[in-house]
Chains A and B, each alone.
Chain A
Amino acid sequence: MLIFKNKLGFIVVLIFLSSCTSMNITEENVYSDNVKTVEASSESLESIQYNNKAVLTNATVYFEFDKSSLTSRSLQILKSVVEALNENLSVTVTLAGHADERGTREYNLALGQRRAEAVSSYLYLNGISKDRISVKSYGEERPAVTGQNERSYARNRRVEIN
């Protein structure tokens, strides 16, 4: 057994011997899993903001899968939103971006944000002051309709203007 003359070899032999003879003896205490339940107070900012909104600016624009570019149909809708905002200077808008349920939740959150930002840019470029626009995303978490088909997906890829 002791044919190893060098230091390393000697260690190898020792480890080998000890793994042959040792037996595992353990003692342990189980983990006490204390959990405290918390309730999220849902004082949503939205409910406060809705009050001074003109219904005229409520609109929804739709997008292609994994895209945040505005379609010609969307541009038409946004044009009338700009007109309504120009006629009602005290009105502010919230742009809420959404995605369909395909793909990952965080990527869709970012995608919803890009869609809302695309609408925001259009409004800004058409003369609407940035302090009248607030932008947010719900990703895929607040679908307009349920259902696993292209028709439902298309209705969920949207920006809601309120």
Chain B
Amino acid sequence: MRKILLILAFSNLLTSELILEITQGTEDPYRVAILKFEGDQKVSNDIDKIIRNNLMRSGEFNLFVNKDLLSLPNNETEVIFNDFRILDIDYLVIGKIAKDGISISVVYEIFDINKGKKIRTSTVYGIPNKNRQLGHYISDGIYEEITGMKGISSTKILYVTENKNFNLIVADADGSNEQILLKSNDPIISPTWSPDSKKVAYVSFETGLAKVFIQDIATGERELAIENSSQVSSPSWSPDGKFLSLTMYQDGNAEIYILNLKNKNLTRLTNHYSIDTESSWSSRGSKILFTSGRSGSPQLYELDLKKSNARPKRLTFEGNYNAKGSYLPNSEGIIFVHRSDSNFQIAMKYFDESFIRPLTDAQMDESPSISPNGNVIVYAITEKGMGLLSGVTLSGVKFRLPAKKGAVREPAWSGFLR
């Protein structure tokens, strides 16, 4: 889906819950009836809210609730398809919650109204007091069954907050369930996920010099990626998890290297007197995208790792600032920061097109990160001097994610966790 629709205005509430206002969704949304799940009322209310928020945020659904409907079937035998066809509804979702002591499981069924049959039965086993996770899994199942694309509700985002000190935070993709990975008095930048989403790498200035650290999310164990006297920055994991590309300043200038995480061997990728940094891998790991100042202004280049002595190929030609690029998950194009007049905005370029597509229109947009299904881009904006996160889907839905206090920046989307 390549249609980018125009985006208008947004609400301005200040809580850490996702601020969501659909300014323009798709022209032809799926019409889906989701009945209130039967069983424990608290669990039912919790997951109902989460499923609705998740599906609405995608901008691809028009949702119907119990009061909109003509009949409320409890099970498959009670479904009267005509009652839904009259309302022009495409899909029906019903579910049951089973609570046995502390364990919770949810069985839900999806019916294709037009075909007049059940198309999915799923059971999700939850963790006590984590109804949110349960809701995310169910909405991802519904999303996947109906759109054919994997859902991202149960994915996570990393970001950095600044409020007197600096925190590296992991949260659900909707901004809820925030947990602190690292607290520091010094800046943290460039957080990124390992491909299995169990570790993170980031740049911390805690030693007085920029250094790349690798940290295990569950255990908190962390180590320097490279122990030397050089400044080290801009980490990016290879898709197989075996290598980390990064920027080092050993000879005084930013150059890109690949670190073998097992034996700690370093391979130098660039050798130029101008700045080379912000490396990131293609989804198959055969190419590296990076920012270089070699043309006199920052532009994006691509290096083919399969060819020996390959020369970097320049990818961007429009404007005098194109930086911090990353590949789309299908590697059909790239997203990056583009300077247009004096504004920095997020832009996209497909390889089979000769022009770039601006995705945002503020003044200081940066650090774009794309969801693993390739459908949503989260990025950092500055508004009234304060940093916050914003997102845009390829179907034109836009949302924002400000913090309760302080500035938010440097978002990074995880891979699929399911």
Contacts and interface: CB of A to CB of B under 8 A. Distances in A.
Interface of A: 23-46, 66, 101-107, 109-111, 113-114, 117, 120, 135-139, 141-142, 146-148
Interface centre among A33, A39, A101 (most CB of B within 10 A): A33
Interface string B151-184: 0001010000000000000100000010111111
A104 B366 contact: yes
Contacts of B177: 33
Output the residue of A42, A109, A114, A146 with the most chain B CB within 10 A.
Answer: A109
Given A102-B364, A109-B277, A28 B124 contact: yes
B130 A30 contact: yes
Interface stretch (B7-15, B215-223, B391-399): B215-223
Given A110-B277, A113-B252, A148-B385, A104 B184 contact: no
6 contacts: A30-B127, A33-B170, A38-B183, A105-B190, A109-B277, A114-B275
Interface of B: 117-127, 130, 133-134, 136-137, 141, 145, 154, 156, 170, 177, 179-187, 189-190, 203-210, 215-220, 222, 231, 233-234, 247, 249, 252-254, 275, 277-278, 291, 293, 297-298, 321, 323-324, 337, 339, 344, 363-364, 366-367, 382, 385, 410, 417-418
A26 B207 contact: no
B189 A106 contact: yes
Contacts of B385: 146-148
Contact of A105 (B122, B134, B298, B366): B366
A111 B234 CA distance: 14
A103 B249 contact: no
Contacts of B118: 23
B171 to A, nearest CB: 10
A8 B233 CA distance: 51
B324 A38 contact: no
B83 to A, nearest CB: 21
Contacts of A148: 363-364, 382, 385
A42 B186 contact: yes
A38 B206 CA distance: 13
A36 B324 contact: no
